[in-house]
Amino acid sequence: MISAGDFRNGVTFELDGNVVSIIEFQHVKPGKGAAFVRTKIRNVITGSVTERTFNPNDKYPTAFIERRDMQYLYNDGDLYYFMDSETFEQIPINKSVLSDNFKFVQENMICKVLSYKGNVFGVEPPNFVELKVTKTDPGFKGNTATNALKPATVETGAQINVPLFIEEGEMIRIDTRTGEYMERA
């Protein structure tokens, strides 16, 4: 059990039958009245974010989220198969569980599979990936006065914006959290 007075960023607990994680918290002690804790919480299964206040004496059961490193193997229709590196157990995960940034993941990459009480609710790709540019327009000489960007397609099929000097066949590093070009690899 965790009391609302002990809330910190990243703490996960059960609230009204849901598993929530604290994004932001603030202990408020007004001049009049009792103290309270103002929070911004995210439902870890649905991803919805809400703001809520708590009495510091309220207690909630702690929720333990399991994060396992698993290797992405392949997909078959709407099922994506991952393998546990230690037990070699393969588990299928439905496409609806995957986040938008999964479009940067290639086969054999290691991802974090998130589960609560055995139910998988999310997959976190690596923070940075190196991919080859398969299609982009050629850059024009002298067109570098500003931070101009052009669209490019990488080997996974995802589209991102890259600087004008990037050519087809180059390896680039991408931040999967924002989907932005970082640097040449």
SS3 label, residue 103: helix
Whether the Cβ atoms of residue 54 and residue 36 lie closer than 8 Å to each other: yes
44: Cα within 13 Å, side-chain hemisphere = 29
Question: Which is nearest to 160 in space by CA: 182, 139, 144?
Answer: 182
- Where among 76, 94, 124 does a domain terminate? 124
Residues 65-113 pLDDT 10s: 888 899 999 988 889 999 988 889 999 988 888 878 889 999 999 999 8
Residues 156-175 pLDDT 10s: 899 999 888 888 899 999 99
Asked if residue 142 and residue 96 are part of one domain, the reply reads no
Instruction: Output the six-digit token pair for 176.
Output: 């999967």
Predicted structure pTM score: 0.71
CATH of the domain at 146: 2.40.50.140
DSSP H or E stretch at residue 20: strand 18-28
pLDDT at position 10, please?
A: 79
The domain total for the chain is: 3
Domain that holds residue 149: 128-184
